[in-house]
Structure 1
Amino acid sequence: MPWIAGQQLQSGKYVIKQVLGQGGFGITYKALHVELNQIVVIKTPNEYLSHDPEYEEYIERFIQEGQILARLSKDPHPHIVGVIDLFREGANHCLVMNFVEGENLFEAVRRRGALPEAEILPCIRQIGEALSVVHQAGLVHRDAHPGNIMVRRNGKKAVLIDFGIAKELVPKTLSSTGNAGNRGFAPYE
């Protein structure tokens, strides 16, 4: 059952404000980090997945997402969402990230239509910079689509989010070919 507004996590360290979104794998919450007086995002796997025979694999990928973001957060990049914490609340694994005030690029285009070239080109460059940093870290995002690009309210900064299916560029085994990424945004090769 999703958490409700006002619910406290980690003995009051975090307070849930609202559900931001819910997808096939997880639920994302807007929350308050009480000690820092800072709004954050808390992502957790959907509860119904716990009945799936591959649940442990989902959790491993979820924890790996936190570890990838933590690795990238050691030298913070303005166009990559930062990780703050990774913890367990009861049976739920939780990933705490910076809150990006704005909307994702998909929502912006749906609301406004095609964005002017002068407005979108800086966003494309910024996400390109972010992907370069990700690649230099030996990773590939595999899901860089408009829904995973947040545009800050001021419209001047784009931030890459959702590293849930990111992988190392060179797989550890030759059989690591499963889940090739988001097919609609993946290269043909």
Structure 2
Amino acid sequence: MLLRVAGGYVSGVEDIDTEALMDPVVLPDMGIWHPLAPQIFDNMSEYKEWYDNVHCPAAGILPNAPTIGLVLQKSHIATKDDGHYVGVVQELERRGARVACTYTGGLDFSVPVQEYLAGPTGEGMVDALVNLTGFSLVGGPASQDAKKAKEVLMKLNRPYLVSVPLVFQSFT
């Protein structure tokens, strides 16, 4: 669309075949992501199929290794500002852990945790959960719902760690 508009104002742009350009890739609002996966997954069974049969054998990750669930923000994945996510995934896998990364575009990160990382009773299908968003599990910088987060985490019944990103802080 921008090239079509620019064609009227910028010389040389009119020669580009805008019909041959790819359509934009639209990410689902919530999903399971891995930096080496060929797609975003919308259910755990498809992710596990790829992870168990393609990725783990290639990476030398054992089937019975502990699984770490990661809570991520869609905005970092959509904009490819995901270097910190990729680094954590790579380091966990290098140390032999399995990884399941969930994300959402909203500020209720408990929804993908319940949808993808909790079993039918709500108990965790992961051995630990790490929140890399910089926000609480339910809510953003201006508000949070501790009661709902506590309910989800109590059902999950797994260790929960929160990584605090140093985005705006300085070392001095």
TM-score w.r.t. the length of structure 1 is 0.24
Q: Normalized per residue, which structure has more helix?
A: 2
More strand per residue: 1
Give the TM-score of the pair, scaled to structure 2: 0.25
- Point out the structure with max Rg over C-alpha: 2
